[in-house]
Amino acid sequence: MWGGRFAAGPSAIMREINASIPFDKALWRQDIAASKAHVAMLGATGIIEAEDARTIAGGLDAVAAEYEADGVPEDWDLEDIHMTTESRLAVLIGPVAGRLHTARSRNDQVATDFRLWVRDAFDQADAGLAVLQQALVTRAGEHAGSIMPGFTHLQTAQPVTLGHHLMAYYEMTARDRSRFADARVRSNKSPLGAAALAGTGFAIDRFMTAEALGFDAPTANSLDSVSDRDFAIDYLMAAAQTSLHLSRLAEELILWASQPFGFVVLPDSLSTGSSIMPQKKNPDAAELVRGHSGRIVGALTSLMITMKGLPLAYSKDMQDDKPPVFEAAGLLTLSIAAMAGMIAGATFRTQRMRAAAELGYATATDLADWLVRQAGIPFREAHHITGSAVKLAESRGLPLDQLPLGDLQAIDARIDERVYAALSVEASVAARASHGGTAPAEVRKRVAEARLALGLED
């Protein structure tokens, strides 16, 4: 490839450090597609003969068929997928293959291929998240009225419903999908035709190639076109945020599946046993999802650090852009699928959840709210009165709704028998019917809206 400029070939060290074919062979479908769009444009504009364009296109189809059947060969002397394809094309169709590289560079070629690959990754993430959302919404609908403890600081706070809890993750994944969608729009510009960095002297039609590849338009600056990896960082940013949400959900399932909680039984298909303890059922899939989030965040950090100090335009550092993106995309796809399977297949132990919701004086806020509503007491005073009631109940080993009325009135005479209607966990969740609250009716409303948004309505 460099014979006209260099007297000797690269050393073994240079050959090994320079070759990217072990990982960028993953771009072969995108490379073939971009090359076919490029050669079709060259033929249509008369830059090369139409017959040569047809021959090259046919040869590219033949190369693609070989790759599909046998995989991409790894010849490190050819460095990357682009030269591997061009070399094989020359074997199949002869010297006319050399016309394919007219008016393009490997710089705009790899930028185009990588954008196409990342665009597919955006779509794959969105599709996977839609499946996870369907599982969340389905289970939330089943458990719109199933009571469980809500936590702050991992301490019992107020009763909520399991459906409400699951719908919180629906909201998170909706934001995740919006991030991928926004990034996809920004990235959907074609760098093909920017050539090495300055554009080309050939009268190419960049709008034609952009349209052929499904891009909205060609990029507007040739220097930026070949040096931009914002689209990859955008993908990793969205992937990292998604992985954090998945990790939080995984952590909750891990806690809930433990014997002290006992809130959920995870599917056997996504759990493992122990080599020494026969009784164990370990939430390994959830733990791996939790662990994968660190690797995905690491991939984002890796690419950001690679790009942070590069002058325009292309530098060889950018060859290291693809491994972190490929790794993160693979881990994210697995993580989303695992979480969707866990949510869909989980058995929720609702009686245990309800019993836990009755512990820890979870309806204390309801007593304070009752004092505000029924007795006209300022909330700060009501908070103090309720704290005294909780302290008394705790000393007696009783839940709040089992404290005798006389004891409550000894704390504050304005309390009457109507208070007991507000102190059950059912009354507590039913009362929280504000928009976005945990009341079963409100949860069912949100589930219905989510089902409509996901196209799940019958």
Which regions in the chain score pLDDT beneath 50?
A: 2
Nearest Cα to Cα of residue 235 among 322, 319, 157, 156? 322
State how far Cα 44 lies from the chain centre: 40
For residue 160, list its beta bridge partners: 148
Selecting among 11, 178, 258, 274, the annotated active-site residue is: 274
Q: What distance in Å separates the CA atoms of residue 273 and residue 52, rounded to the nearest whole number?
A: 61
Query: What's the token pair of residue 25?
Result: 């062979």
Cis peptide before 313 (omega within 30 of 0): yes
Extract the runs of DSSP E, i.e. beta strands, from 248-313: 264-265
Residue 375: in which H helix or E strand, if any? helix 364-375
H helices of 3-145, where? 12-18, 21-24, 28-44, 50-70, 81-93, 106-142
Nearest Cα to Cα of residue 151 among 167, 140, 163, 165? 165
CB atoms within 10 A of CB 128: 21
Residue 96: in which H helix or E strand, if any? none
Res 279: pLDDT: 75
274 noted as active-site residue: yes
Selecting among 153, 275, 434, 435, the annotated active-site residue is: 153
Cβ contacts of 427 within 8 Å, gap of 6 or more: 363, 366, 421
Cβ contacts of 17 within 8 Å, gap of 6 or more: none
Total-model pTM? 0.91
CB atoms within 10 A of CB 222: 22
Nearest Cα to Cα of residue 118 among 36, 272, 239, 11? 239
Q: What distance in Å separates the CA atoms of residue 120 and residue 327, rounded to the nearest whole number?
A: 15
Judged on CB neighbours under 10 Å (0-12, 13-18, 19+), 384 is: middle
First to last CA, the chain: 60
- State which amino acid sits at residue 299: A
Cβ contacts of 339 within 8 Å, gap of 6 or more: 132, 246, 249, 250, 286, 289
Q: Is 155 helix (H, G, I), strand (E, B) or coil?
A: strand
HSE-up (13 A, CA, CB side) for residue 123:
7
Q: Which whole-number Å values give the CA distances from 428 to 183, 213, 395, 457, in the listed order? A: 41, 56, 23, 30
Cβ contacts of 444 within 8 Å, gap of 6 or more: 141, 144, 163
Task: For tokens 């790759």, name the residue.
Answer: 67
Phi and psi based region of residue 122 (left: phi greater than 0; alpha: psi -120 to 50; beta: remaining): alpha
